Homo-oligomer: A and B are copies of this chain.
């Protein structure tokens, strides 16, 4: 089974690597990082270079697509090379999914028209502007339409465990969860907007995007 994760300049690394780390544990799954061309792309802040091993043209029919987000999504909302690849891949894929603002790219490719979906809490208006109906859930599934979206950055790990459950069964997903020791113990309880409150939300404006 082929999983394709498209990368682009200024992607958010954990959006891509969280699901990769989960999915690649299944021996039947081969994960390919794809891009406009083969070679290096840089993450949102430029501090991390990751390699695309295939161009979009070289991997037109993956079984599963996982589209990461990042500030770089904003300039891709009319990028026909990427959006055409997403919509064509989705014709044949078993599941087409997004993490964080990767949902903006699914929406721009026309996949989320009228559907409920989730994204990073900071991109809700833009997602709705692109035709989706935002819901405040960590993972939003539309199995008949073969589309799953997940919330900001770290949610891709949760979503990917569900993907493994769907394609390889619950036991496989549980084994992966144990293997990556995903027994979260965050030091605070402020990982969603409803839990964090306004002061912490304002504090995020001082962070790197």
User: Which residues 165-199 of A have a CB within 8 angstroms of B?
Assistant: 165, 170-188, 190-193, 195-196, 199
- Nearest-CB residue, chain B, relative to A19: B14
Given A31-B48, A47-B24, A191-B178, the answer on whether A185 and B158 have CB atoms closer than 8 Å is: yes
- List the number of copies, as a whole number: 2
Q: Which residues of B contact A121 (CB under 8 A)?
A: 181
The reply to whether B188 and A192 form a contact with Cβ atoms under 8 Å apart is no
Chain A 20-35 near chain B by CB (<8 Å), digits 1 or 0: 1100111100111100
The reply to whether A190 and B204 form a contact with Cβ atoms under 8 Å apart is no
CA distance A110 to B135 in the complex (A): 50
Chain A interface residue count, Cβ-Cβ cutoff 8 angstroms: 71
Q: Which of B21, B120, B187 contacts A14 (CB 8 A)?
A: B21
Q: Which of B45, B155, B201, B208 contacts A178 (CB 8 A)?
A: B201
A-B contact pairs, 16 of them (CB 8 A): A13-B20, A14-B21, A20-B47, A25-B208, A27-B208, A31-B47, A33-B48, A48-B50, A151-B181, A154-B180, A165-B187, A172-B207, A176-B207, A178-B190, A178-B191, A182-B184
